[in-house]
Structure 1
Amino acid sequence: MHVGLDTWEYHTNCSLLEPWYHGFFTKQFSPSSPFEITKALHPEASVYRLKQVHGNTVFSPQEIEDWLTKSIINEGEDDSTFASGDGLISTEPSQAVWVATADCTPVLIADEKTGQVAAVHAGWRGTALKIVPQAISRLQAQGSKLENLRIAMGPAISGEVYQVSEQVAAEVGASITPYNNEKTILDALQDIPLSPLLPDPEPGRVRLDVRRVNTLQMETLGISLEQIAIAPYCTYQTPEYFFSYRREHQKKVQWSGIVSKNPTNH
């Protein structure tokens, strides 16, 4: 598994995604929007983002444009309205797809053959609903092969400090175990090598590594650890660079995005 990421000023990128314009941007870029950041990253790219709702809906740019047209016609809303979802996949080159996070996991996915990309907002709810496998399935429907995907999970709250209820842990854990009973799920999670479940001193509570659960979901699909990079940063424990909702209880976010490119010929 690749864990080494290069930090360049206030922007973190991943060597696995080096052929693509991309970045996990820190709070120093706030309050810049994805539209403003894309101008610096790749000025010719068209920009797409969503109103994130902790679900597992994945949109393509065309679906966003169709939704926006329908919204304007039917409801009279203006162009500032965003479709509700938590994942975006490109369909053409030079499309920048963005997600916002403040403890949840930003996931950037790229296909080294087709050049297509995805950006996913994977909090515990989205992870329980398998949003990353959903985005990968959408890419496969467009011709991607699993072995050609490169995936980076950006800065997020780490398992060692992310306290959740046993009920939440079981709901997330159900996405990677065949069981449906809370205790059985928790027991199964604890038996996994490098378990995503860590002990907590408070009764009825545990610590949950959401990025580890996403990794296990991808392994189940047949994706190898060599295709996955995980940023060695915790948003909660790194206040100088990242907003953390759990630490600050304020709705401030940092942006993560990637730009699709032309297919490769080899």
Structure 2
Amino acid sequence: MTTKTWNWQTWQDLPYLTCSILEKWPHGFFTRQFSPRSPVELTDVLLAKAADFPPKSPLVYRVKQVHGDNVLTTDPAKALPKPDSEPNENGGLPEADGLLTKAPGEAVWVASADCAPVLIASTVTGKVAAVHSGWRGTAAAIVPQAIARFQQLFPETSLDSMRIAIGPGIAGEVYQVSTEVAAKVCATIAPPEISESSAILEWALSLSEPPVLPDSEPERLRLDVRRTIAMQLFQMGIKAEQVAIAPYCTYQTPDRFFSYRREHLKQIQWSGIQSQ
């Protein structure tokens, strides 16, 4: 069974989080203490911790996140410029919520506050992906779509080779949503014979590890986005030992993470990973 532990790392006394399930790849779930550093600067932080990992100056990528289900592949023409280089002449960032590497030594990044940052790697190809999945992305099953993209681009990628770390996000116990939103998300994991929203929610609430929890207000429930993502992966055939969920809630850990639900400010932390 794959060991799954979450470990705090430091760089210049600033904390960030790593997961042993991705120990073969430079990666990190960065905290609010690293704001406003960019993905290019944070890639240098990862390489400082992995001095023997080539190349020394990888191409770095991010997207304009739109709470959708689009997963793009890397394109060198869209790589982020280095701090001392000329601006990219190819226009703005592509709109998407996931990025999958096509070549070795590429770093991909997503931003989050309460949404789930998901870092994915394949032990067969060494390729990686970074995905941003809030309730909308989860309702569109963006993380399973990213896995499908792996297999489409690299047919040798088996489900057994996937390693998925779901980083800090808002916990289900404090994430209040409408029953309509909860039903849309839970519909992605409900048995196909259950289609009515009320029946979907009744089924979800009855599970031993439910993706939704009751709420004291009418027409409201508490939604566990990260648990739902894991359940989507399990239904694909990915095993529990291949998936790790960070034991940290952005809303309840204000000393480490920004939270839009808590602060109502557009502040983010970055999560990224580099391909082999």
Using the size of structure 1 for normalisation, the TM-score is: 0.91
For each residue in 1:37-67, what CA deviation from the matched residue of structure 2 results, as whole angstroms up to 9, or x when unmatched? 11222342110100000000000012x8479
User: 1:94-109, aligned counterparts within 5 Å?
Assistant: 94-109=105-120
Q: Distance in 2 between matches of 1:102 and 1:217?
A: 22
Correspondence for 2:249 among 207, 212, 234: 234
Q: How does 1:1-266 map to 2 (within 5 A)?
A: 4-9=5-10, 10-42=15-47, 43-62=56-75, 65=77, 78-79=89-90, 81-141=92-152, 142-143=154-155, 144-177=157-190, 178=192, 179-261=194-276
The separation in 2 between residues aligned to 1:2 and 1:100, in whole angstroms, is 26
- Structure 2 unaligned residues grouped into runs of 5+: 48-55, 81-87
SS in 1 for 2:121: strand
The amino acid of 2:36's aligned partner reads: P
Q: Which runs of 4+ in 1 moved over 4 A?
A: 77-80
Please tell me whether the aligned partners of residues 61 and 78 of structure 2 are also in contact (alpha carbons under 8 angstroms): no
Distance in 2 of aligned mates of 1:40 and 1:28: 13
Partners of 1:67 and 1:229 in 2: CA distance: 29
User: Partner amino acid for 1:56?
Assistant: D
Report the residue type matching 2:229 in the other structure.
N
- Post-superposition offset of 1:260: 0.3
Contact kept in structure 1, 2:77 and 2:90, CA below 8 Å: no
Question: Aligned AA for 2:209?
Answer: L
TM-score, scaled to structure 2:
0.88
Give the whole-Å Cα distance in 1 for the aligned partners of 2:41 and 2:103.
Answer: 21
CA RMSD of aligned residues (A): 1.8
1:7-46 Cα distance to aligned partner (Å, 9 max, x none): 1131100001001000000000000010111122234211
| Equivalent-residue separation in structure 2 for 1:249 and 1:66 (angstroms) | 31
Change over 3 Å in CA distance of 1:183–1:67 after alignment to 2: farther
Secondary structure of residue in 1 paired with 2:202 = helix
Call closer, same or farther: CA 1:137–1:20 in 2, change over 3 Å.
same
Q: Does the 8 A contact of 1:173 with 1:185 survive in 2?
A: yes
Partner secondary structure for residue 160 of structure 1: helix
Partner in structure 1 of residue 52 of structure 2: none
Distance 1:118 1:248 in 2: 29
The answer (yes or no) to whether the contact 1:2–1:228 under 8 Å persists in 2 is no
- Shift in CA distance, 212/125, structure 1 to aligned 2, threshold 3 Å: same
Any unmatched runs of 5+ in structure 1?
69-76, 262-266
> What is the identity, as a one-letter code, of the residue corresponding to 1:105?
A
Q: Encode CA deviations 1:128-165: one digit per residue, 9 max, x unaligned.
A: 00000100000011131100011100000000000000
Q: Is the Cα–Cα contact under 8 Å of residues 52 and 84 in structure 1 kept in the other structure?
A: yes
Quick one: distance in 1 between partners of 2:198 and 2:89?
Answer: 48
Between the aligned partners of 2:208 and 2:242, the Cα distance in structure 1 is: 19
What is the distance in 2 between the residues matched to 1:138 and 1:186? 30
Contact in 2 for aligned 1:34/1:255 (Cα 8 Å): yes
What is the CA–CA distance in structure 2 between the aligned matches of 1:253 and 1:221, rounded to whole Å?
Answer: 30
